Structures are given as C-alpha cells and as structure tokens.
Amino acid sequence: MDQHKWRKLDGTRIKRAIRDEIRAVLVREKNAGHELKVCIGTDSQVKGNRTEFATVVVFIRKGKGGFMYIQPETSTQKFSVKERMLREVAKSIDVAYTLAPLFTRFGVDMEVHADINTNPAFKSNDALKEAMGYIMGMGFAFKAKPNAFASSSCANKVVQ
C-alpha cells in the first residue's frame, strides 16, 4: 500500500505511513472521548481508457460527525463489471487487513463496504456472492448497497 497517495478530503496529503496516521487519529479521538466506528470502501469510474479507483477510510464519531482518508488510484487495465467490482473489494480488504490490528487494539468496530447492488437486475450483482465471501472470509463485517455508504457515497464522490 503506497502511503504517499493517501490524503484527507480537503486535499491535504498524508506524509507518513497510513498506519502511523491512523494510530495517531485513534489516540486523538480516544483522548477526546469520541466513540468511533470505521467503514472502509472503494468505488471506481471508467473514464475513457482508464479506470479511476478511490478507497476511503471513513471515521464516524457517534453523534458528532465524521471524517475520512482517501487513496486514489488509476489503472489503464480493462475490466469487466464483475472484475472491477472484485478489484474494488480487494482494494478495500487490503486496507482493512493493514489497519484491522489498530482498530482491534483501540476497540473500534470496522465494516468493509462493497459498492455492489443486492438487486439482481444490476450488473454489479454478479459479484455479490464472491465479494461477500471474500470480505466475510477475512473476518470482516460486510455491507452492500444500499447500506454501503463508504463505497457508494463517500468514495463515489471522489471518483466522479
């Protein structure tokens, strides 16, 4: 995971490893008395001959708003819809796997969100079973549309 690509929503680049940044955030938020939940998700958009991905780590302060970190990435590889959905899930799992020990240590609940529709009428639904198995098989809580706001709302805003 290239930590130098991470940034805040306001565009501020993260200059240290994302693990170190998240550890500092967890200490700060705990000291401030905030109860946190974290949701990790990825969305993508095909733009001509490239696919833009955005992975987000969304922190929710229960009853007090939230904030997020973003990792953008661009690929020139061609993907089917199913391949692209599973690539999004893989990116989210990579981040979740890296950060999960910190969240466990600080007692913070984490979910992995997949921008996959639970309605079979949508093409993304073809990847639902694999995505759910992949995420839950790694031991993470899973959410799909319409409950996957980290990927379908937060990350979506970044790649549009």
Note the pLDDT tens digit of each residue in 9-34.
999 999 999 999 999 999 999 999 99
Q: What are the structure tokens assigned to 150, written together?
A: 């980290």
Task: Note the pLDDT of residue 89.
Answer: 95
Q: What is the Cα–Cα distance from 28 to 106, expressed in whole angstroms?
A: 11
Asked whether the predicted pLDDT for residue 124 surpasses 90, the reply is no
Task: Note the pLDDT of residue 158.
Answer: 78
Domain count, the chain: 1
* pLDDT-derived band at 4, boundaries 50, 70, 90: low
Task: Note the pLDDT of residue 70.
Answer: 96
CB proximity list for 107: less than 8 A, separation 6 or greater = none
Q: What is the Cα–Cα distance from 83 to 127, expressed in whole angstroms?
A: 8
CB proximity list for 55: less than 8 A, separation 6 or greater = 40, 41, 42, 70, 71, 73, 91, 92, 95, 155
Strand order in the sheet with 109-117: 7-8, 66-75, 50-61, 36-47, 109-117, 141-145
Q: What range defines the domain where residue 22 resides?
A: 3-159
CA nearest 159: which of 29, 35, 65, 71?
A: 71
Question: Any idea how long the chain is?
Answer: 160
pTM value is 0.92
DSSP 138-158: TT-EEEEETS-HIIIIIIHHH
Asked whether the predicted pLDDT for residue 160 surpasses 70, the reply is no
CA nearest 126: which of 138, 144, 111, 139?
A: 144
Asked whether the predicted pLDDT for residue 3 surpasses 60, the reply is no
Asked whether the predicted pLDDT for residue 8 surpasses 50, the reply is yes
Over the stretch 58-108, which tens digit does the pLDDT of each residue have?
Answer: 999 998 999 999 999 999 999 999 999 999 999 999 999 999 999 999 999
* pLDDT-derived band at 120, boundaries 50, 70, 90: confident
Q: In this structure, what CATH number is given to the domain that contains residue 137? A: 3.30.420
Task: Note the pLDDT of residue 97.
Answer: 96
Asked whether the predicted pLDDT for residue 156 surpasses 70, the reply is yes
CB proximity list for 129: less than 8 A, separation 6 or greater = none
